[in-house]
Amino acid sequence: MSIRKVIASLFFSSSALVAIAQTSSKGIFIMSSDPSTPVQYANLREVDAAGRSLVKDIFDMQRNYAGLGATTDTFSTPLGGSVAAMAYDQRSNRIFFFPQYASDLRFIDLDKKGPRFTSLSQQSLQLLRNRNDVANQVTRMTIGADGYGYALTNDAEHLIRFSTTGVPTIIDLGVLTDDAANTVFVKSSCTSWGGDMVADKNGNLILITQSNFVFSINIDQRVASYLGQIEGLPAGFTTNGAAVDEQGALLLSCGSSRTLQLTQHLFRINDIRQLKAEPVDASAIPGFGNISDMASSFILSAPRSASAEKSAVTGTAVPAKNISKAPSFTVFPNPVSTGTFNIRVQNIAEAGDYTVLVSDMTGRVVMERPVALSSKNSTHAFSLPAMSSKGTYVVMMVDYFKRTVFSTQLVVE
């Protein structure tokens, strides 16, 4: 994907969102397959806040809806064929999702009569190289305690943040790094791809991977701390969906539980500090196939810390973790009136060749400069072109592979 297209999709408002106290007025949303098509996840339903009984059908791929024209192109359908990542925002009453085989954020507006979908295709991150590019599929998604939506690719190379009201704007925050004490790594395809995310009350994201390993993600530092592996799940159960219920407990679903003919399809973790799962009686929810994803407005009530606790796997004491210093980038002066600004880089993880780009509000690149980062701490000066007019710009640094490692706004006076 071109750098210019990336920048055009990254511009967003700098207005901070206040933390939202999400309430229990909504239920839990479930994306499932039809029993006849067990791996096509395109049926959206709402169940009660305890995850036990059906409230209503929101979208059924077998039905014809007014205003939604018929199409034989799977990717042009409202859900893009199959969905494995979604999040519910109570403030806007929207369900956000990424189709499994596309990089464009979409949402369904629950305030509208009948299912009404919006695709933000003009802001597509264009992550997927082809249909089989599993590493770049977005499979984990939630609304954070700060009111932003967050999504994560399988390989953890792209932590994506988006606003949820009005016309959403999207930014790629960049790569997750592992805490120095991790014994299971967040980028490993063997342990840490797939799964889902929820938010906790301390502002972290809790990632539960398909292989049932759990991480806590510090959003500001983009550091993932390994917490342990879930106990009590049946053989073959993979966590594909997660949501928080009205009691603040964690619900887990499996994308192949019915295909595998498991006797239980939903599990609950009452205390995230223990990571012990127990089955949920979902007998009052008829007609479900496999469940690929879940979402709710609730925040995890008892987040597990990285302090010394008993391991859910071994039962032995786990020493407190020392959070490694994450890379930080500072642009100064900001606002700038002389045409020259600086970027201070601290705790850079990888020395090498990077590129700094400055774009205007339309996404037009007005400056592109290479920069070599050869030490952990350094400061670099840049001069804006003489024809740069007053206004707000985006300053962005990308690595050799064109991955965004830093992005912020710069005001020119």
Question: Which of the pair, 105 or 405, is modelled with greater confidence?
Answer: 105
* Average pLDDT of every residue of the chain: 80
- At 239 the pLDDT is 94
Q: Which helix (H) or strand (E) holds 376?
A: none
- At 264 the pLDDT is 84
**Res 56 pLDDT > 80:** yes
Highest mean pLDDT among 38-47, 273-282, 308-317: 273-282
**Res 242 pLDDT > 90:** yes
- At 88 the pLDDT is 96
**Res 66 pLDDT > 70:** no
- At 133 the pLDDT is 86
Cα–Cα separations (whole angstroms), residue 62 to 256, 279, 290, 303: 20, 30, 16, 39
- At 164 the pLDDT is 92
- At 13 the pLDDT is 34
- Residue 8 makes CB contacts below 8 A (sequence gap 6+) with 123, 359, 362, 363
Highest mean pLDDT among 41-45, 221-225, 344-348, 358-362: 221-225
Question: Which of the pair, 91 or 72, is modelled with greater confidence?
Answer: 91
- All structural domains of the chain: 3-318 (2.120.10), 328-412 (2.60.40.1930)
**Res 256 pLDDT > 90:** no
- At 24 the pLDDT is 34
- At 277 the pLDDT is 95
Percent of the chain exceeding pLDDT 70 equals 79
Mean pLDDT, rounded, for 16-44:
62
- At 19 the pLDDT is 34
Long-range contacts of the stretch 160-169 (C-beta < 8 A, 24+): 160/125, 162/96, 162/105, 163/12, 163/13, 163/17, 164/89, 164/91, 164/92, 164/94, 164/96, 165/91, 165/92, 167/120, 168/96, 168/105, 168/107, 168/120, 168/123, 169/11, 169/12, 169/13, 169/123
Question: Which of the pair, 209 or 336, is modelled with greater confidence?
Answer: 209
- At residue 39 the predicted structure's pLDDT band, cuts being 50, 70 and 90, is low
- At 227 the pLDDT is 94
Mean pLDDT, rounded, for 251-261:
86
Among the ranges given (84-98, 200-214, 389-403), the one the predictor scored with the smallest mean pLDDT: 389-403
Q: Any alpha helices (H) in 73-115, and if so which ranges?
A: none
- At residue 3 the predicted structure's pLDDT band, cuts being 50, 70 and 90, is very low
Q: What tokens does 305 get?
A: 């810390």
Tens digits of residue pLDDT in 167-217: 898 989 989 999 999 999 999 988 999 999 999 999 999 999 999 999 999
Tens digits of residue pLDDT in 340-390: 999 988 877 678 888 998 888 777 889 999 999 887 788 999 999 887 888
- At 96 the pLDDT is 96
Whole-model pTM: value is 0.68
